[in-house]
A and B are shown apart, each in its own frame.
Chain A
Amino acid sequence: MFVQLILSGVAQGSIYALVALGMTALFRATTIVNFGHGEFFMGGAFVLYVMINVVGLPFLPGALLAIVVMFLVGMTIERVLIRPMGLAPHIALAMMTVAFSFLFRGIARAFWGREVLPMPAVFSFPPIDVAGVIITTQDLLITGMTLFFVVLFFIFFQRTNLGRIAQAASANPRGASLVGINVNLFHGTMWGVAAGLGAIAGILVAPITLLYPDMGALILIKAFAAMTLGGFGNLGGAVVGGLLIGILEQLSGGYLSTALIDIFAYLVIIAVLLIRPAGLFGIRESQRV
């Protein structure tokens, strides 16, 4: 049972990790805490649904297109809603993200209000039984793809020149302008990347969960818990935090009480803030916050 719980915890946690990673990257780049991030997750799943069930595309092109669409949605949000606010205080920017989060849910409800949509199962290979431990292709796919995107993300940010530019522009936007970096474009791109990561998470769970307009709300809390646990603003911490939340949720559900699963994220947030506010990997970066 232990191994089984760990495995399904990793699959769950992968999703949290992807969402938390996107939120953290955006926070680092723009210092904005995006309360609308759950809607990128929801958006990815819904756009995929439209691509497959309305447009009639196969899964893979549909998924790629959905990521592109959500990337553009992210960029558009930056251009139309965030940039015009200029140097508004953080709380105002956060309120803006809350506002568009509800706006997006409203739009989704307008189209799919009464429906909870099933997604056609993508890969229905039978589960594999390895010495009593069940592994499904879905779980493998989710974990594998998450690993792939997380590694890709870190290679990009730490090994490429563009990544270094992104790091610089995150650390000091004014400094970046002073070396000729288009900071607005960078912010727009980061909104796009964040939306894309959220969408990837949504697309990965879409075939195994059900789509409904409010599906982003729950994932947002898990992502917050992951970020808090890993150290708010720490990219690696967000990933590790997400995985840990997923695993701990499962273990507490399996060994303690199933009632714990869904309050677990809140418990983590409270416990971390009281005991170790900087999180597991929190380093104090003086210029942040």
Chain B
Amino acid sequence: MFKTKYLACMLGLGAMLAGPAFAQAPGVTDDSIKIGIFGPMTGSAALFGKAVFGVEAVYKDVNDHGGINGRKIDIVREDTGCDPTRGTAAVKKLISQSQVFAINGGLCSGVVMAVKEEVAKAGVPFVIIGAASSAISDPMMPNLFHPVATTSNVAKTMIDFAMTREGTKKIAVVSHSDDWGKSNRDPAVDHLKEAYGLDPVLDLTMERGSSDATPQILKIRNADADFVVLMMYPAEVAIFLRDAYKYGLKVPVLAPQSISLKDTRERVGNDAAVENLYVFYPYAHPTDSPEMEKWGKLINKYYPDERVESFSYLGMSGALAVVEALKAAGPDLTRQKFMDALNDLRDFDSGISSAPITFTPEDHAGIKGGAMATLDDGKVTVMKKWQDK
């Protein structure tokens, strides 16, 4: 008897909490939902911060079209400088000071790994913008969603692509020796071993900030490699290609999704030098296609001075998934309902990412599969196999 009364009391309280005019979930009011965004807006990795504007443009566009269930999205942005310490401070601030409903942030895997625990403790729904390390969503964390092609997914795609060419035996790997480089290199080398029983013919490093790749190129030339896998940042990839061209190294070069074909061509300043470059392509269409330009225009509508780049789109499909889940969660918005809605997301096709997003309660690595792209007569061509060219 007492028990049921107690239960009723609890239920009553629960109903009151959920009631529209009374206390709502953190960061939610009758007409707004506060979403925290963080990324490297300054510092050496600030190029990736471009994705933040893509995400914000999605939310602003939603607001201009009436919001979600009568609520507008209220954006709070923090800069991490890609520095884990700053990132932790930024996330703490978003959670306890700004009291956001959910967080959509993170382009540097180091920062995301550093803030994971904090976010897990707070139970705030956390959707990643673009940080790609597989360790972010593996093992799975219930309130963290990863709508990004992970490093192991990218590495797998790159290696499989190389192996579609007949007779591929010698794959050379060149990577940065920092965490980012390792987190990209390791899955590629592992996959090569597990799936094909091969070791890299060369396993080289090239540090960030290098302005020369002569020793690496000469070694690769001597080893007569079939493919080169570059796990490096845009600047160093450009330098590598420039030097490869200079020394007449004509081996196909594979690079991860952080590399933009056109940007690299611009940096190298030479069409011939990027002829042999193939990059993991996170998008469904070439960046200069009308399908993608539509999204670029959206970014420039809200940020007219922003130079839209291939990174700019990186977090947009994730943001669209957030919007979708917020809608599905209904007017009585709670964090749990929102996360339930995310977990129900199946084959969500934003038209932006190369593969649709699927979350299940067991797996939050939302994107599986992908494609490679290369420049063919100056045009981005998306391909699945070597023979597609």
Contact = CB atoms under 8 A, between A and B. Distances in A.
| Touch A–B, Cβ below 8 Å | yes
Interface of A: 1, 4-5, 8, 11-12, 15, 109, 113-116, 118, 120-121, 124, 127, 129, 134, 136, 205, 207-210, 212-215, 217-218, 250, 253-254, 257-259, 261-262
Contacts, number: 102
Contact of B50 (A109, A114, A215): A114
Given A127-B246, A258-B206, A212 B44 contact: yes
Contacts of A205: 211
Interface of B: 41-44, 46-47, 49-50, 174, 177, 204-207, 209-212, 214-216, 218-219, 222, 234-235, 238-239, 242, 245-248, 263, 266-267, 269-270, 307
Contact of B218 (A109, A127, A254, A261): A254
Given A114-B50, A115-B307, A118-B266, A258 B42 contact: no
Contact of A118 (B44, B209, B238): B238
Nearest to A221: B209
Given A116-B47, A258-B205, A5 B214 contact: yes
A12 B205 CA distance: 18
B215 A253 contact: yes
B215 A261 contact: yes
Given A208-B211, A250-B214, A124 B269 contact: yes
A259 B269 CA distance: 28
A113 B49 CA distance: 9
B43 A109 contact: yes
B49 to A, nearest CB: 5
Given A109-B46, A258-B215, A209 B205 contact: no
Contacts of B214: 4-5, 8, 250, 253-254
30 contacts: A1-B218, A1-B222, A5-B214, A8-B212, A12-B212, A109-B43, A113-B41, A113-B46, A114-B49, A114-B50, A118-B263, A118-B266, A121-B270, A124-B269, A129-B248, A134-B246, A134-B248, A207-B269, A208-B239, A209-B211, A209-B239, A210-B235, A212-B44, A212-B235, A214-B43, A253-B214, A254-B214, A258-B205, A258-B206, A258-B219
B224 to A, nearest CB: 14
A261 B207 contact: yes
Nearest to A215: B209
A213 B177 contact: no
A136 B246 contact: yes
A195 B242 CA distance: 29
Given A114-B46, A210-B238, A218 B209 contact: yes
Contacts of A8: 212, 214
A109 B267 CA distance: 19
A134 B244 CA distance: 11
A28 B226 CA distance: 52
A242 B18 CA distance: 70
Given A129-B248, A212-B44, 10 more contacts: A4-B247, A127-B245, A210-B238, A210-B239, A214-B209, A215-B209, A253-B215, A258-B174, A261-B210, A262-B210
A8 to B, nearest CB: 4
Nearest to A106: B42
B206 to A, nearest CB: 6
B375 to A, nearest CB: 16
A12 B43 contact: no
A214 B174 CA distance: 23
A116 B42 CA distance: 12
Contacts of B216: 253, 258
Contacts of A114: 41, 46-47, 49-50
Nearest to A2: B218
Contact of A262 (B44, B207, B263): B207
A109 B46 CA distance: 9
Contacts of A257: 205
Contacts of B239: 208-210
A208 B242 contact: yes
Closest 5 pairs (CB-CB, A-B): A253-B215, A121-B269, A262-B207, A118-B267, A8-B214
A5 B218 contact: yes
A90 B211 CA distance: 33
A120 B49 contact: no
Contacts of A115: 46-47, 307
A220 to B, nearest CB: 11
A209 B210 CA distance: 9
A11 B243 CA distance: 13
B211 A109 contact: no
A137 to B, nearest CB: 10
Contacts of A113: 41-43, 46, 49
Contacts of A210: 234-235, 238-239, 267
A116 B218 contact: no
A285 B102 CA distance: 64
